[in-house]
A and B are shown apart, each in its own frame.
Chain A
Amino acid sequence: MRLTVNGRVHTLDSALPLSLLELLRDRLALTGTKFVCGRGECGACTVQLDGETVYSCLTLAEACDGATVLTVEGLASGGGEPSLSPIQRAFIAKDAAQCGFCTPGQLMAAHTLLARNPHPTDDEIRSGMSGNLCRCGTYPKILAAVRAVADGEFAGSAEAGSVNAA
């Protein structure tokens, strides 16, 4: 099977008895996407599959033949911090990650939400993001980060993600 992940084409054995999540983490060493519940309850494994968010823990790898996958590792446009995507820079600036374990899934959900609806209301953000659990309770900051991107605060490739503020 062939699979494009973050712009790179991978040719893999077919008949892999794996979920897309296991394929990403164990075969392709893309460990940014996290396993938490394995049953589509928490959203930590959210990735983009052909432009739609999916729970990669519930997605069979084999069913992804020919598909295009985007993971947290593919959000930045190149190497290094200045190339982080607006939603990543917003998460840094608004302190939208505490332990960070749910963050890759939150970012993918937010990225897809904003691609589909660039100017969501707060309620649309709340409902669009409520499939992604965060036990640290970072929700107000995640909401603020998505809001800020929607409002254009992180348009362009500024160095807003820099830690040189002080």
Chain B
Amino acid sequence: MPRKTKGAAKPGGFVQTTVEIEGRTETRIVEIPAFEPAAWGTDAELGIVGARVPRMDAPERVSGRARYTTDIVRPGMLHAAIVRSTIPRGTIRSLDLSRARAMPGVLDVLGPGDAPAGTRLFGREIFYAGQPIAAVCAATGHAARSAAHAIAVEYDTLPFAVTFEDATAKDAPKVRAKGNVMENAPLVISRGDMDAGLKAADVIVRREFRTPVQLHTALEPHGAVAEWEGDRLTVWESTQGIFRVRENVSKALGITLSKVRVIKDYMGGGFGAKNGAGPHTYVAALFAKRQGRAVRCINDREAEQTDSGNRPSSTQRVTIGAKKDGTLTAIFASIDVPLGISGWEGGPGQIYHELYACPNVRTEETFAYVNASGMAAFRGPGYVEGAFGLESAMNALAKELKLDPVALRVKNFAKREPRTARPYSGNSLLQCYKEGAEAFGWSHESRKPEAGSRTRVGKGMAAQVWPTGGGPPAYALVRMNSDATVDVLAGTQDLGTGARTVLSQIAAESLGAKLSDVRAIIGDTQSLPYTGNSWGSMTTASVGPAVRMAAEDARRQLFEAAGAMLDATPDALEARDSRIVVRDTDRTMTFAEVTAKLGNVMIIGKGSRGPNPADTAIMTFGAQFAEVEVDLDTGIVRVLRIVATHDAGRIINPTLAESQLEGGIIQGLGYALFEERVLDRRLGLVMNATIHDYKIPTMADIPLIDAFFVAGADPVANHTGARGIAEPPMIPTAPAIAAAVSDAIGAEVTEIPLTPWRVLAAIAAKARR
């Protein structure tokens, strides 16, 4: 497949390429790999890639052997606890650390002025409840926590704002020093002519939608263990990006990069909140330096629920215009997002521009700062929120036009990426609509209620798009050991996604090795080549091609060596199941026979991720269909069935990918029905910072889920043919469920989560009309 790139496209030369991360586009200068393997097209004959291989690290995970950051124990290790502000805004008048210092087991205390400026820790000015203000280091976790409670703080309080409305009111208090609204507000993205689009419409739908703050609630909290050896620092961190943690620590503490080593073996969930170092990291590193011993600092659950990132809430005022036949003429959304005290503009707006072919689209997003902990990326950031508004409005439009919601979407299918007019590397969204609708039985009527029954069944659907091309830089080595086992070395991380397994499959396929002989070694900045964060559904599409190239390079070397032993030219050789065969002969050697002869002469293949194809949109698509049952008396919603069909190019391991689909759907179900951080407007405090009070789905809430992929591969995207899949399945679930609830009760619902009282309110509002 010819690959178009900007600049001199010769091996070893450097070119400019674009990479889309969490909806943002970044331009990078990257080297063109020395060679690029021929792409695995749709009809490539592959045995291990595409196979339902069990997760290779599952034995560790089911036996208790898997070591998470919270399990790391170092000789003489100490424990740290962080003290946090109990008010949302003000200044510290006095902070008495002496009682804590005098408590048994306490060795050290850090307060205002004690941390390097780069850490931005322990300031006297308070911007949100939960802000770190001091820390204690003790011999045991108990002692550290007890001492943290003993620290007496007096505050001078200031007025605060924790809602968008309060922060943007005329006489709003100063949320922070630099203004309550993000600069250049509103952020406007626009194409075409909105007035003309609305004028051309036969039908116009106007709605306001609201989405809640969602908390990641990873079961393993943020945490780090830090240990110094001279001027070298090792950090064990529960993170999605070991190299980014290294960079953060290096900058914050003023240590050169190569003297910081970050290790992450296993982690207990990330979902977007663990993309860098945090206060816990710096506290552990600072105490470890001062005490000359290893220090562990792990968030407690309250800190994890109040100050480790969140999906911000949104209000979306949507106007959609269409012709009678369903052709969209205008999409407009005015969107308010309260970010917390910090954050980025990963807003709901993007998906309004990307899902449908519509000539006139405009979004105006205002991001406000409020006195609450800052937001962080959360699985499909912006797109999950935006899909609820856009897709709910599309479903309202379908009803208005008396069109089938699937037909309305098919009518407005975008043949090119509508925002930039770039061609897609591949797009099977129409296939997703078709196969999903068939699997669901979309054309059948919902079950009618029995006479006298107070439950109603309804159905709904929604679609999804998300940029998943991945990209450079990412490097890998494939090393053949003298016992003929194979190590894949890449500085990436497995969040529970299956990266170890998927990368091993790609290496085994490319090298012709038995999968059981291959092991992926990941998660250490000191000994492994660079790869980026595991965010933006990027790992497989970024690291996979680098691993494939490294394995092909190793195979080339192996064939050179074996050719001499087998009296054949390397191009006459084939490898499978760790055995080399001279084509059309009975001459053969196992990998082990070759490596035995080589002794300690090593075969090391090197691979890197090449640039992305120029001017091409690389996206993952999908459609989801939901069936729900609503109890009209209690307002309780039960999701009965979800059918999900997605297109992510080649699926390296269908079993693991389906697990990701189910996981995304279940988090989307929680977002639709239960999950909502409650931040009291008058107190400025989080009222449900426990797992009991912040409801995530349990096994009893899970519907029948039929989640699958449309067949195919995407050889334009990269030479493995795979795109990303981690975030997309969460995007359409909530609007599909909301549409099903609307269908069941015969009244629209425009705010999630659909708690019983919101459903009852919608039923009551309908009765009043």
Q: Which residues of A contact B (CB under 8 A)?
A: 17, 25, 29-39, 41-42, 44, 71-73, 75-76, 81, 84, 88, 91-93, 95, 97-104, 107, 125-127, 129-143, 161-166
Contacts and interface: CB of A to CB of B under 8 A. Distances in A.
B220 A99 contact: yes
Given A76-B63, A95-B55, A100-B66, A135 B696 contact: yes
B63 A84 contact: yes
Given A72-B64, A91-B58, A95-B54, A36 B269 contact: no
Contact of A166 (B51, B55, B269): B51
Contact of B700 (A39, A92, A130): A130
Interface string B606-622: 00000000000000000
26 contacts: A31-B64, A32-B63, A33-B64, A37-B692, A38-B301, A39-B301, A39-B690, A41-B690, A76-B63, A91-B58, A95-B54, A97-B55, A100-B66, A100-B266, A101-B269, A135-B219, A135-B696, A137-B664, A137-B697, A139-B666, A140-B662, A162-B516, A163-B516, A164-B516, A165-B54, A166-B505
A136 B692 contact: no
Interface in B36-79: 47-48, 51-56, 58-68, 70-71, 73
Contacts of B659: 95, 98, 136, 138, 141
B699 interface: yes
Contacts of A139: 662, 666, 697-699, 702
Interface size grouping (class) on chain B:
35 or more
Contacts of B266: 99-100
Q: Which of B218, B269, B300, B699 gathers most chain A CB within 10 Å? A: B699
Given A93-B54, A140-B702, A161-B59, A99 B666 contact: no
Nearest to B705: A140
Contact of B61 (A39, A75, A103, A130): A103
B290 to A, nearest CB: 23
Given A101-B269, A126-B700, A136-B269, A163 B61 contact: no
B384 interface: no
A81 B666 CA distance: 31
Interface of B is mostly: loop
A135 B219 CA distance: 7
Contacts of B62: 72, 84, 88, 91-92, 97, 100, 103, 107, 161
Contacts of B663: 98, 136-138
A101 B64 contact: no
B691 A36 contact: yes
B665 interface: yes
A93 B660 CA distance: 16
Given A34-B220, A36-B301, A136 B496 contact: yes
A42 B54 contact: no
Nearest to A128: B699
Closest 5 CB pairs of A and B: A32-B64, A101-B268, A99-B496, A137-B666, A100-B61
A104 B65 CA distance: 10
Contact of A163 (B53, B64, B271, B495): B53
Contact of B495 (A72, A93, A99, A129): A99
Contacts of B300: 38
